[in-house]
Amino acid sequence: MSGVATKSPEPISGEALAKFKEAQRQGWAHFAALEFLTTPAAARLVRHAGVRSGQRVLDVACGTGVVALTAARMGARATGLDLTPELIERARENAAIAGVEVDWHVGDVEALPFADGDFDVVVSQFGHMFAPRPAVAVAEMLRVLKAGGMLAFSTWPPELFLGRVFALVGRYSPPPPPGVSPPPPWGDPNVVRERLGEAVKDIAFDRARIYVPSLSPQHNRDVMERTAGPVLKLVEALKEKDPARLETFRREYEAIVSEYWSDNLVRQDYLMTRATKI
């Protein structure tokens, strides 16, 4: 595809990649309980992307569909795709409750099942950043976006709460397969510019914040251990193999969250990106 950043992803074996993605599917299967926290952010992302009635909109790594449903209620022809079947099932339920039509797919951002230029807008809320190979994910999202179309996404900055949490999880987890990139760099505007390369123009950034109700830092940690894929999988592994290391991880997590917790709320700041495909 002309104009896409040409840096090749590091090699990763097919078996290792398949195992990595299967772990992601299993880990994120319990995320639906948090959908109410990301619902206001979905409306902000849809506004940031400039979605209009009649546009063809793809929500990549859509989870329970909060962004796709928000776009559909505005009159867009929305499609949602996620790696985890349980989340797509919840998205279908949400669409039925809202009385809107969305075309749902179980699928992979690294191999989108759509034709070149199928969509006017491609969005992702805290989703595509977990794809193991950023160059592949970017190429696919831009491939299915028409020339002049809008790419927009929300990500967690590495220096702030959730970026630091995912970095902490990475330090306590086994090394990922060679070629797998961690999610936090997607929250750095300089990294975003590099990854999008010369395939886009008019890159714009904005910041926003989610407030997460939490009775204590420990309460916030407990919720994350039961719902957030990478944290959930790490805790499962350490409970069995190294309980002492798990307790150390928990203390470090609570120390981080304490910096962002006050008045029973945790501040979760995030970055929004918008760019036009050339």
Using DSSP's 3-state secondary structure scheme, residue 174 falls into coil
Mean pLDDT for the stretch of residues 14-43: 95
What is the pLDDT at residue 120?
Answer: 98
Which of 128, 132, 130 lies closest to 141, judged by CA?
A: 128
Torsion angle of the four alpha carbons 167, 168, 170, 173, in this order, in degrees rounded to the nearest 10: -170
What is the pLDDT at residue 20?
Answer: 94
The DSSP letter of residue 76 is -
Residue indicated by tokens 């499962």: 236
Average per-residue pLDDT for the chain = 95
Residue 3 has pLDDT above 60, yes or no: no
Q: Which amino acid is at 136?
A: V
**Whole-angstrom Cα distance, residue 28 to residue 22?**
10
Residue 215 has pLDDT above 70, yes or no: yes
CA Rg value for the chain: 18
Which of 60, 71, 64 lies closest to 111, judged by CA?
A: 60
What is the pLDDT at residue 10?
Answer: 56
CATH 3.40.50.720 fits 14-158+173-210+270-277, yes or no: no
Neighbours of 176 (CB within 10 A): 15
Neighbours of 194 (CB within 10 A): 13
Q: How many CA atoms lie within 13 A of 17 on its CB side?
A: 16
Which of 86, 80, 90, 157 lies closest to 122, judged by CA?
A: 80
Whether the model pTM is above 0.85: yes
Residue 269 has pLDDT above 90, yes or no: yes
The DSSP letter of residue 111 is B
**Whole-angstrom Cα distance, residue 183 to residue 201?**
23
Which of 8, 16, 3 lies closest to 175, judged by CA?
A: 16
Residue 4 has pLDDT above 50, yes or no: no
Q: Where are the beta strands (DSSP E) in 4-126?
A: 56-60, 77-82, 103-106, 119-125
Cα distance between the two ends of the chain: 11
Q: How far is CA 268 from CA 6, 129, 173, 223, 259, in A?
A: 33, 16, 23, 15, 11
**Whole-angstrom Cα distance, residue 119 to residue 145?**
5
Residue 13 has pLDDT above 80, yes or no: no
Q: Is the distance from CB of 141 to CB of 151 less than 8 angstroms?
A: yes
Mean pLDDT for the stretch of residues 190-204: 98
Sign of CA dihedral 276, 113, 55, 42: negative
Residue indicated by tokens 């790419």: 151
Q: Is the distance from CB of 140 to CB of 112 less than 8 angstroms?
A: yes
Token pair of 110, please?
Answer: 């690294």
Q: What is the pLDDT of residues 238-259, one digit of tens each?
A: 999 999 999 999 999 999 999 9
